[in-house]
Amino acid sequence: MDRQRSLHDLEDLFWQLSRKMEHLWKDIYAKTFPGSQSRIMYLLEQNGPRKMSELANSIHITAGAITTASNLLIENGYITRLRNEQDRRVVHLDLTDKGKTTLNELQNEGREIMKLIFHDISDADLERMHTLFKQASSNIDNR
């Protein structure tokens, strides 16, 4: 197969796999954290406490949408508001223990699904996939 055809086929496979994986992850997360709530939880887990405006910018939603989503997460005990002692107008959001525990449980569920998806792929092939994905990601970063 020539390189152009191979790249085209790889692109098709990539999009098919991406859509399938997205559906699997949504099935896991959406029942607990629908819509932008899952992205808020993920960003707080990855980056620690953040201002609402930073979160809204990161996930490309309006201030009103971030307020609505965060209020639901607060009501359900997954996140909390932290006021800045120097400037009481500044409000950060952070995960609660319940939020951390729930995220951990969902991530474990996701890892089990990943094990099922990749169970018949050899360790050597998984390592090669890892190397190739890192290289592709690096190529994107360096464009």
Residue 106 pLDDT exceeds 80: yes
| CATH number assigned to the domain covering 3-141 | 1.10.10.10
Give the contacts of 44 (CB within 8 A, at least 6 positions apart): 50, 55, 79, 93, 94, 95, 99
d(CA 132, CA 87): 46
Q: Which residue has the tokens 């190397």?
A: 131
Q: Domain boundaries in the chain?
A: 3-141
The better pLDDT of the pair 85, 69 is held by 69
C-alpha distances (whole Å) from 104 to each of 32, 41, 72, 111 are 12, 11, 19, 10
Among candidate residues 22, 57, 9, the one with its CA nearest the CA of residue 65: 57
The better pLDDT of the pair 86, 33 is held by 33
pLDDT of residue 86: 82
Band of residue 88 on the pLDDT scale cut at 50, 70, 90: confident
Band of residue 10 on the pLDDT scale cut at 50, 70, 90: very high
d(CA 135, CA 137): 5
pTM: 0.77
